[in-house]
Structures are given as structure tokens and as C-alpha cells.
């Protein structure tokens, strides 16, 4: 019996049927969806705004992480 790790579950399947293995790989493949979403945003003229928004959110998250990881001053 084989095992494929797909968050948050572990899916067990038999190696006797190769189609089960290929289907388990395709089940969590989001490349097509991301391509379609990016294309739709670009056609609507909202891709640059979405990218800028993602950058600002990521910068804010990184700043918060850096603040949490700073060592405290010892007296």
C-alpha cells in the first residue's frame, strides 16, 4: 500500500492501479486555477493593484514577525 500526503489528510492507495496515483496528484493541482485568476485580473486591469496590495500585506507581516523576534533587553 502506498501513501500520498495531502494536507491535512493522508490518502492511502494501491500501487496496482496507476490512475489512482495520478488522480491523487491532480486533485490538489491549483496551477490552472491560478493561471485563470491571473489572466482574469490582467484582462480587467486589476492585476497591478492586486500585486501592490499583496506586497504591502507581505511587508506588514514581515515587520510584525521581525518585531516579535527581536530579543528583549536584559537588565
For the stretch 38-58, pLDDT in tens is 999 999 999 999 999 999 999
Residue 28 confidence class, pLDDT cut points 50, 70, 90:
confident
pLDDT higher than 90, residue 61 = yes
Phi and psi angles of residue 70, each rounded to the nearest 5 degrees, phi first: -70, 135
Looking at residue 6, its pLDDT comes to 47
C-alpha cell at 39: 489572466
Looking at residue 12, its pLDDT comes to 53
pLDDT higher than 60, residue 11 = no
Please report where in the chains the cell 506588514 appears, as a residue. Answer: 60
pTM beyond 0.75: no
- Return the SS3 of 5: strand
Amino acid at each position: 500500500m502506498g501513501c500520498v500526503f495531502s494536507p491535512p489528510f493522508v490518502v492511502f492507495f494501491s500501487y496496482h492501479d496507476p490512475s489512482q496515483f495520478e488522480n491523487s496528484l491532480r486533485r490538489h493541482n491549483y496551477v490552472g486555477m491560478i493561471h485563470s485568476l491571473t489572466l482574469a485580473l490582467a484582462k480587467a486591469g486589476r492585476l497591478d493593484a492586486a500585486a501592490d496590495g499583496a506586497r504591502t500585506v507581505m511587508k506588514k507581516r514581515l515587520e510584525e514577525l521581525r518585531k516579535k523576534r527581536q530579543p528583549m533587553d536584559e537588565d
